[in-house]
Structure formats: C-alpha cells, structure tokens
Amino acid sequence: MAQPEKLNFAPQNLNPKTSNLFMQYDAIIIGSGFGGSMAARKLVAAGMKVLMLERGDWVQRGPENWGLRGSLDLSVHNDKSTPLNVAKGGNKKVMGLYTAVGGPSAFYGGVSFRFREADFEKNEEIEGKNATGWPISYADLEPYYTEAEQILQISGEAGIDPTEPKRSAEFPQGPAPLADISKKVKSSAERLGLHPFQLPLAINYEDTSRKTCISCTTCDTFACAIGAKNDLSTLVIPKLQADGMELLSQMIVTRLIAENGQITGVEAVSKTTGERQVFKAKYVVLAAGALGSPHLLLASSLEKLNPGGQVIGRYLMRHVNAIIFGIFPGAADKERRFHKQLAILDYYFGDKKIAPSFGKLGSLQQMPTPPMGLVQNEVPGPLGVLLSQGVRLLTGLLAIVEDQPQFSNSLTINPLVKDGFGLPQPIISHEYSQRDEAALKILTKQGKKIMYGAGAIAHYIHQIRTFSHAVGTVRMGSEAATSALDENCEFRGVKNLFVTDGSVMPTSAALNPSLTIAANALRVGEWIVGM
C-alpha cells in the first residue's frame, strides 16, 4: 500500500491565549460535530461572527491511521479526562467521550441515511400510550437532507429499497463497485427475496481534485490516512474557517452563565494552558453530543429555568444492536478491501411472516472484518496476538433496532465529585426494554440466514454496548412539560440558547443518526439567521 503524505487539516495561526476575551460574537457554538458544524454553515454564510469551541484536538493524518492502534477506541480521541461513570449499561464501568475537531465524524464509517417518513410520526408501539412523535415531519426536513447530502457529497443508489423516502434530488455521487464478499452477501439476500442496496456513504469516489478512496480496510472506526472520507474536519470546517469562523480546540466548556432568561457568558478552560475564560455572544448553540450537552446543562443548573427541565438527561437512547459475524472456512475478504457497502431494510417496518406480533424491527447493514488491534487491546499479550489472527475469517451484518425511549435511561450528575476542570461527575444508567431485546433477536436470526447463504459455516454474535449512536437526552417537542426544546430546538426558558446535536431526537429510528443531525442543524441554523 502506498504511503500517504502527511496531512494536517489544522490551521497554523490560531492560539487560544491570543483570543480577545471581551470580543462580542454573534454566536458561540459548543462542539464541532454534525450539529455544530452544520449550524455554523448557516450562521457564517449569513455574515455572523462565529466562535466554535471544541473539546478535542485535530486528528492527524498519516501512516499511523493504518496501524493497529488507529481505531477510535484505541486513539487519544477516546478522551477520559471527564470520565463517564456507568452505573448500568455500557461496555465498561468507566468510559470516555469521543472528542475531536469534527466530532467523531473523522472515525465514523460514513453511513449517511435519511430517516424514513414514518420515523417522524407517533408510534405507540415504540413510544408507549402517550406517543407524540416528532414536532416536525419528514417533509420539513427533506430540503435540509438534500442540502446535507450535497455538502458531504454522499454516494448512494436510489430506487431499490422498499422503505426509501421521497427525495427531491439524486445522490451527488454514485456508489463504488462491490467487493467480492459484498457480491456474495447481496446474492444471498436476493435469494431470500430481499432488496439489498448500497449504503449511502460520505466517502470521496469521484472528486479528483482531492484524494479518492483506495478501498483500504481501515475506514470504519479509523480516520482516513489520505483524507478521502468526507468527514467534517476534511470537508467542512476548514472552509468555515476560511470564511471567518474562529475555532478554538482543546477547550472544555464548564458552565453556561444565565441571567434574566438568557445566556450571558460561556465559561471554558483550555486543556493545554489551564486558562479559564468567559466568552460572550448574542446566541449560543450547544452541540456537545447526547452525553456532553445534558451534562453541561445540568452542570449549569439550567434545568431549573426550563418547564421541561425534569427530562434533561432523560430518555437516553442508544440503538440496541449487534454484529452477526459470519465465520468463514478461509479468509472472508480475500481481496482485503473496504466492504461496508450494503444495506437491507426489508424488515424495517416489520414482517408479519417472521414476527406477527411486532411492527418496526430495524435495519441490517454490512460490516467489515474487524480490526486486529481491537482484539489485541481486549486480550493483552501473546494470546491476544494469536486470537487476533482469527479476525480474517470474519465478516458480518450489523443489526440496528430502534430502542424505546425510557425516562429511566439517563445521564445525571453527582455534584460532589468533580473532574480536573470543575465539571461534576456524569453518571449513565441505561438498559434495553424487553421489546428492544426481542426485536434484536428476530433481526439477528434473519441476518444469520443471509450470512449462511454467503458462505459462512458458523456465527458469532457481538453485542455493541458503546454509546456511539447516543441520542435523545434534550428532546424537542410540542409540549413544554415533556420536552426541553421547542420545535426549533430553542431551550425553553432561555431565549438565546439552542441545541442541535443528537440529543434533540424524541425517537432514535433504526438508522445511523448523523445525516439527520446534520439536516436538523441546517434547519435550526437557518431559523436563527431569520430571527
């Protein structure tokens, strides 16, 4: 494999210590992931003076991204400086936050789905008898889905998936040719009467003015060594900076200062210098993620100002999902190339033949052979090295089931225990409902059939317990008593505070949330500009 040139997307002229603390910004954006960066696009385009504060650092690009320790969980961007205390759920008792300029987008697999029309409608089976659905519809979000796909140059194919929602424009790019193992999975699914189609991916296949994808095997959970993934730190944030946005990385926001029903200051501390600063702006956009945003709101006691304050940190959702790894008699991916390529949504809204008592089930998405480094990290020493050689026999399907929003699933704080920045300890408590687990069992059974047809001789089911798809902790809604945000994601009780990350979602659907976060942030950013 050719060695990549060293890529550095970080600007060379920004220094937190030289920032003017008394400068009045039009808007301060906390977090540089999809919620923060897409809202920033609208504000910057309107000529606003915008400051973005990001907890993480720039992801360096080079040969190390292809190494055994290049995967996100093994990198420095799995930040444990504010440890998450996991009382229930998760895969560890203490977990970190994924932090980087561009949020986790540098490490994601690029899957960029639109939610389906019915995902926005009330559904008592998912939400319970008091179901309300979303305060906006698919039609409200469709133009922004189209805009987000253009910004991220999403590749994909339309017209095959039976659940595909209406769209006003074609995908900006066509899909890449299928790997041999993907062809086998596709043929197996088609023999079962299913409709596999290529995943919508934020990967550069066609723009020759920059590096195009070389189909390496270090993509999902890895930063792209050559910058061919259309992540935010590659494609979006540098342009925002060129257009005038100021970005300060490695800044920990510790408090939102509220006076007379508005945010009058954003307190932050530099991870590099320890300097504590207060920034001021007309508007504040909170986009620190479904774990970071409620943590900061609770740390700032803002729940006391919100008529729906009791739900802040509640209704934490994280898709119930598992990887159905097929075990093959030899190397599953003999070509050793990228093969996270297919999706199967035939079971998305249920199937009366296989599950007569269920409505919505979920999605199946192709997953690549897992990285050896993760096995070696979990099983240290010679045994880990030996076991890691076996991953070449594996490839699989990811089953994603929409989990039920439950008040008891939460991020709360312990104000008596604080980290080195003065933030109270976040405590996560999460468990799946009986319906969640039953739906996953049905979906994994169908996934096994597909993998058998593709040549697998046995299976291994790997439960995913991270919080990589976390949503729902600062939900938007029409009723003030049950939602912290209104339909435009403005924080109730504080007239200049907006939230634009995945925490705003009332339900999780059964698809990757990134494109929906991006589309909604574009919508909210446009609303702020028009105020």
Q: Taking 90 as the threshold, does the pLDDT of residue 10 lie above it? A: no
CATH level 2 (architecture), domain 17-58+71-529: 3-Layer(bba) Sandwich (3.50)
Q: Taking 60 as the threshold, does the pLDDT of residue 17 lie above it? A: no
pLDDT of 74: 87
pLDDT of 379: 65
Q: What is the DSSP letter of 312?
A: T
Q: What is the DSSP letter of 8?
A: -
Residue 101 backbone phi and psi in degrees, to 5: -65, 125
Which residue type occupies 202? A
Distance, in Å, from the CA atom of 117 to the CA atom of 257, rounded to the nearest integer, reads 38
Spans of all domains in the chain = 17-58+71-529
Q: Taking 80 as the threshold, does the pLDDT of residue 374 lie above it? A: no
pLDDT of 209: 96
pLDDT of 19: 41
pLDDT tens digits for 432-457?
Answer: 999 999 999 999 999 999 999 999 99
pLDDT of 2: 42
Q: What is the mean pLDDT of residues 4-19?
A: 40
Angle between helices 434-453 and 180-191 (to 10 degrees): 110
Angle between helices 34-45 and 138-152 (to 10 degrees): 90
pLDDT tens digits for 125-175?
Answer: 999 999 999 999 999 999 999 999 999 999 999 999 999 999 999 999 999
Please name the residues in contact with 404: beta carbons below 8 A apart, sequence gap of 6 or more. 126, 127, 128, 317, 433, 435, 436
Distance, in Å, from the CA atom of 21 to the CA atom of 80, rounded to the nearest integer, reads 28
CA distances from 237 to 39, 77, 240, 245 (A): 12, 18, 5, 9
CA distances from 297 to 38, 193, 232, 422 (A): 21, 48, 25, 14
Distance, in Å, from the CA atom of 379 to the CA atom of 396, rounded to the nearest integer, reads 21
Parallel, antiparallel or unpaired: strands 24-30 and 276-286: parallel
Q: What is the DSSP letter of 250?
A: S
Q: What is the mean pLDDT of residues 308-332?
A: 96
Residue 122 backbone phi and psi in degrees, to 5: -65, 145
pLDDT of 390: 86
Q: What is the mean pLDDT of residues 314-329?
A: 96
Q: Taking 60 as the threshold, does the pLDDT of residue 1 lie above it? A: no
In Å, how far from its chain's centre is CA 246? Answer: 24
Q: Taking 70 as the threshold, does the pLDDT of residue 384 lie above it? A: no
Q: Are 282 and 26 in contact (CB under 8 A)?
A: yes
Given pLDDT bands bounded at 50, 70 and 90, which one contains residue 123?
very high
Q: Taking 90 as the threshold, does the pLDDT of residue 353 lie above it? A: yes
pLDDT of 436: 97
Tokens of 308: 């729906």
Long-range (24+ apart) CB contacts under 8 A made by 95-100 are 95/428, 95/466, 95/467, 97/55, 97/289, 97/291, 97/292, 98/72, 98/468, 99/54, 99/55, 99/56, 99/57, 100/54, 100/56, 100/57, 100/58, 100/59, 100/233
Distance, in Å, from the CA atom of 57 to the CA atom of 249, rounded to the nearest integer, reads 6
Q: pTM of the entire structure?
A: 0.94
Share of the chain above pLDDT 70, in %: 94
Distance, in Å, from the CA atom of 150 to the CA atom of 515, rounded to the nearest integer, reads 11
Collapsed DSSP state (helix, strand, coil) of residue 388? helix
pLDDT tens digits for 152-162?
Answer: 999 999 999 99
Helix ranges, 282-329 (H): 289-299
Residue 319 backbone phi and psi in degrees, to 5: -30, 130
Residue 77 backbone phi and psi in degrees, to 5: -85, 0
Given pLDDT bands bounded at 50, 70 and 90, which one contains residue 387?
low
pLDDT tens digits for 34-52?
Answer: 999 999 999 999 999 999 9
Number of H helices, E strands in the chain: 11, 17
Q: What is the DSSP letter of 105?
A: G
1 or 64: which carries more pLDDT confidence?
64
Angle between helices 514-529 and 34-45 (to 10 degrees): 30
Distance, in Å, from the CA atom of 492 to the CA atom of 308, rounded to the nearest integer, reads 7
pLDDT tens digits for 164-216?
Answer: 999 999 999 999 999 999 999 999 999 999 999 999 999 999 999 999 999 99
Q: Taking 50 as the threshold, does the pLDDT of residue 14 lie above it? A: no
